Structure 1
């Protein structure tokens, strides 16, 4: 199964109010194993960066000034996504922004199936915090490099969180032979030599004791003859 872990950074919280996407980060998974393929896009939002948004992700007007527009990179993004299932933390936020960008270009909305890891976390840990940082702490995932939000870094962390939410590292074990046969990276299969069977034949005394025990059973089923 091919999946793409996806995250975005934006100029604000509401795409319908004119806020835009400024970064997209994607990590490819096959059978819950990262393949090494990723996509990171910085985009010129065609608007000044609000101070509040810059505090979150650290992307400045100067940094984004020479970056391509979403229209210039939309085909590259859609080709990378393909028909993969998307894995997104708070999916309605990111999908809302991406679909707003597509709508501005007269393109159809994304039709990919998706998994919302916020919903997964709340089902698995009801009443507990479901932020990405909280889940990293819960699962012992190193997020010390996350001093600012960044779409690609957050996607890498989310891929690890998603693996844990999906059942942890053991989830890979049953799929390892199939993934190795398909040439999926990280799917090395360990083989082991089985011990030869050891005989455990009953002794003469044990056989005699067993025969005596059978004589104590009245009307044993194995001696009955069907009518």
Structure 2
């Protein structure tokens, strides 16, 4: 199975307001293992980048001045993602921008979904962890992934981090305790299961004394009287 973990950086938040893609980063998974192949490109958007966007990713118009236009890289990009499943966090954002870029070409390129299926890790995370924060940073913390080197957003770096998150979220297991206690790991970084020895010492069973048993019975009687019944009484 071939999957491509993808992320983009853009000039702003909404392609319908004329914002453009300025960076694409992809890493390839083959049978749920990183293959070492990647696609990474910076793109000249032919427009100004919003100041708020620069604060997020640190990419400036000066840096992009000599970079290729989207029309120059689109064929290589399509060839890289063709017939793969795209793994994207908040897929409508990235796919929406890419489809907008395809449309600007006005040459019948179509849409991303013509070349690849799409798996949205944000939608999956919200179902798996309802009521919790499911940003990429929050998922890194939940699954014990080190993203301390991520001061700014970058498409290739975020794609690499998302690949780790995706593999753990869909096949591994986070800590059963809390997000402050990461899972145990093998030397290679994979989750491991610690099995208890069959000849381990037996757990000590502590029985209540007569006084404690009487107090417990009084509590059950009070519950029964107040509620008309008690599930814990024989």
**SS in structure 2 of the partner of residue 166 of structure 1:** helix
- 1:166 pairs with 2:159: no
**SS in structure 1 of the partner of residue 164 of structure 2:** helix
Partner Cα distance (1:127, 1:28) in 2 = 31
Aligned residue in 2 for 1:150:
154
Partner Cα distance (1:168, 1:29) in 2 = 16
Aligned residue in 2 for 1:71:
71
Aligned residue in 1 for 2:89:
89
Residues 174-211 of structure 1 show CA distances to partners (whole Å, capped at 9, x for unaligned) of xxxxxxxxxxxx9xxxxxxxxxxxxxxxxxxxxxxxxx
* Structure having the higher Rg: 1
Q: Cα distance, 1:18 vs. partner?
A: 0.3
Aligned residue in 2 for 1:28:
28
Partner Cα distance (1:101, 1:13) in 2 = 14
Q: Cα distance, 1:36 vs. partner?
A: 0.1
Structure 2 counterparts to residues 167-206 of structure 1, below 5 A: 167-168=171-172
Partner Cα distance (1:62, 1:84) in 2 = 34
**SS in structure 1 of the partner of residue 171 of structure 2:** coil
Partner Cα distance (1:38, 1:74) in 2 = 15
How many residue pairs get aligned? The number is 170
Partner Cα distance (1:45, 1:136) in 2 = 31
Partner Cα distance (1:142, 1:22) in 2 = 26
Partner Cα distance (2:38, 2:45) in 1 = 22
Partner Cα distance (1:102, 1:64) in 2 = 20
**SS in structure 2 of the partner of residue 26 of structure 1:** strand
Partner Cα distance (1:104, 1:84) in 2 = 24
Partner Cα distance (1:90, 1:164) in 2 = 18
Q: Cα distance, 1:165 vs. partner?
A: 1.2
Residues 98-130 of structure 1 show CA distances to partners (whole Å, capped at 9, x for unaligned) of 000000002201122111000111111110001
Partner Cα distance (2:170, 2:30) in 1 = 14
Residues 37-83 of structure 1 show CA distances to partners (whole Å, capped at 9, x for unaligned) of 00111000000111111001000111000000000000010011011
TM-score normalised according to structure 2 size: 0.71
Residues 10-29 of structure 1 show CA distances to partners (whole Å, capped at 9, x for unaligned) of 00110111000000000000
Taking only aligned residues, the RMSD between alpha carbons, in angstroms, comes to 1.2
Partner Cα distance (1:77, 1:93) in 2 = 18
Higher relative contact order (CA 8 A, sep 6+): 1
Residues 85-106 of structure 1 show CA distances to partners (whole Å, capped at 9, x for unaligned) of 0000000000000000000002
**SS in structure 2 of the partner of residue 115 of structure 1:** strand
Partner Cα distance (1:123, 1:2) in 2 = 24
Aligned residue in 2 for 1:44:
44
